[in-house]
């Protein structure tokens, strides 16, 4: 929930930063038209995988549903693989350490035995969310600018 709230605050900041100067300049010039974004533009921005607000984004002409299904299957595969990592590598390690008395040697061994599963989980989170999830939603929204890694 915290990550979602941070993302929404960052998107709101970008929306305000892009639109307030336009509104203030039109009020300052006393022009008759003030360009206020439509609600549909704001909703598209909320779901698009970008943190920079624009009134219009480059769009693909069609949605490749096979690509979307592949990306969601990869997300599910990543979740199952993370479950496997926890069951095979993490749970036995911590189950054994909870039955022993606390000592420094046991703590250091537990930490070092958790490094590999932790790194694997970080890679899975990167792949599942930042690659598969965002690409699937970008395809469903026909969002053409997919420079996530730049």
Task: Give tens-digit pLDDT for 54-74.
Answer: 888 888 899 999 999 999 999
- Alpha carbons 90 and 77: distance in angstroms, whole number: 19
Alpha-helical (H) ranges within 29-128 are 39-47, 65-85, 91-99, 104-125
Residue 76 has pLDDT above 90, yes or no: yes
* Predicted TM-score of the model (pTM): 0.72
pLDDT at residue 34 in the model: 76
- Alpha carbons 104 and 58: distance in angstroms, whole number: 56
Sign of CA dihedral 132, 147, 15, 9: positive
Average pLDDT over every residue of 6-15: 93
Percent of the chain residues past pLDDT 70, beyond the cut:
94
């Amino acid at each position: 929930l915290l990550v979602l709230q941070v993302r929404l605050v960052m998107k709101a900041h970008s929306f305000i930063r892009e639109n307030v100067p336009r509104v203030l300049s039109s009020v300052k010039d006393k022009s008759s038209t003030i360009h206020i974004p439509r609600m549909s533009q704001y909703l598209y921005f909320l779901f698009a995988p970008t943190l920079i607000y624009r009134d219009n984004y480059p769009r693909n002409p069609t949605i490749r549903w096979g690509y979307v299904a592949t990306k969601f299957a990869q997300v599910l595969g990543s979740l199952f693989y993370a479950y496997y990592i926890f069951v095979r590598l993490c749970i036995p390690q911590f189950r054994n350490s909870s039955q022993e008395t606390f000592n420094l040697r046991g703590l250091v061994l537990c930490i070092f035995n958790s490094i590999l599963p932790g790194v694997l989980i970080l890679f899975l989170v990167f792949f599942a969310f930042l690659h598969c999830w965002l690409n699937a939603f970008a395809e469903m929204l026909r969002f053409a600018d997919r420079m996530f890694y730049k």
